[in-house]
Structure 1
Amino acid sequence: MSAQLAVLKCPVFGDVPEVVPPSHPEDLDYRLTMSLGPLSPGIARAYTRVVLQTYGMRDIVDPAVQVVGELVACAWKFTPDTEAYLSLRYRNSDLEVVLYDGHRRHGHPKLEAACDARRRGALWVLGCVVRACKGEWGFGEAREPGGGTRMWVVLPRWAARGYSEVR
């Protein structure tokens, strides 16, 4: 009982500042490292939704959440039970989404081409969303130490706003 009282009297609770929403979407720059598993796409979608809503970008939540879910699901398919790194940035009126997974490029050209075709097929829905938003997407070798694959999407806000109405 005394341990519970100590927690209730913790002075930290009185020192929590009032949360003020960010005023500029241009300040949006978040990263998340996550374990890849069956819950990862849902967690990444929820994370993206909260970040965008916090920055007052409700108008592009739907396409962004769909894109993030597709990227994370693809990463899980190619590198199950490992980690992935997700980056969300808003620059020059575009939402930039980047995901790194641990799937290294193949040394043999035929294996690499077959693997790329599988990844492109796994990202078919993502491609449809990005086209509807007049954006760009792609994937390739990660330039960071440790290798792996870098998948990226750029969604122009002006075009992504209409995504919910198009569907």
Structure 2
Amino acid sequence: MPEPSSLCPIAAPGDKPPVPPAPEALAYSLTLPSAPRSPAIARAATRTVLKAHGLDDVTDAAVQVVGEMAACSYRLAPAAEVYVSLRYRDDTLRVVLYDAHPRHTHPRLAAACDARRRAALRVLACVVKECAGDWGFGDAREPGGGTRMWAVLPRGGARGYGTGKSSEPGPASR
């Protein structure tokens, strides 16, 4: 007798068996404490999820981006939780991280804090640029407030990350 494909007692017999995860089905979220070990946990989870969905070719860039965001968040909001989201759509990986660090209302404090965050994310900026992606940060649109950081990594650009091959043709190759 074949194994049922569902534990639900009212599932129709002959339901299709589960299919392995595809890149287009990648949609994961993770909440972590803002702690020194959290960037490593976020990197490991990212690596596992990407491999499960057949996106091994973007792992190096994605793991670097997630680690940089989580480390920045820990330095700026060390007593709260962080929320990490990974989504893959239209050949692009989107990474979003929310932290509890409030956006400042005083213009000079806001500018100073933004400059510190931007400086803390300079490696992320280089990774995203090499992948021909985009990134930024701003107010979190959640009831708890805080800061939202995001990065967009096109698969084609992220594939070439760390290989020494530029994601965009240089002047010599045009």
**Equivalent residues in 2 for 1:60-139 (5 A)?**
60-139=58-137
Shift of 1:166: 1.9
Shift of 1:82: 1.2
Shift of 1:111: 0.4
Distance, in Å, in 1 between the alignment partners of 2:123 and 2:105 is 28
Helix, strand or coil: the match of 1:159?
A: helix
Shift of 1:75: 0.4
- The letter for the 1-side match of 2:44 is A
The worse-fitting range, judged by mean Cα deviation, of 58-67 and 157-166 is: 157-166
Query: Who is 2:20 aligned against?
Result: 21
TM-score normalised by L of structure 2: 0.83
**Equivalent residues in 2 for 1:35-54 (5 A)?**
35-54=33-52
Distance, in Å, in 1 between the alignment partners of 2:162 and 2:51 is 15
Distance, in Å, in 1 between the alignment partners of 2:69 and 2:19 is 31
- The letter for the 2-side match of 1:122 is A
- Percent of aligned pairs sharing the same letter: 61
Q: Show structure 1 runs of 5+ residues with no match.
A: 1-14
- The letter for the 2-side match of 1:21 is P
Query: Who is 1:12 aligned against?
Result: none
TM-score normalised by L of structure 1: 0.86
Deviating above 2 A after TM superposition, structure 1's stretches of 4 or more consecutive aligned residues are 18-21
- The letter for the 1-side match of 2:67 is G
Shift of 1:144: 1.1
Distance, in Å, in 2 between the alignment partners of 1:20 and 1:166 is 35
Distance, in Å, in 2 between the alignment partners of 1:57 and 1:113 is 37
Distance, in Å, in 2 between the alignment partners of 1:81 and 1:107 is 21
Q: Flag the structure with higher helix content.
A: 1
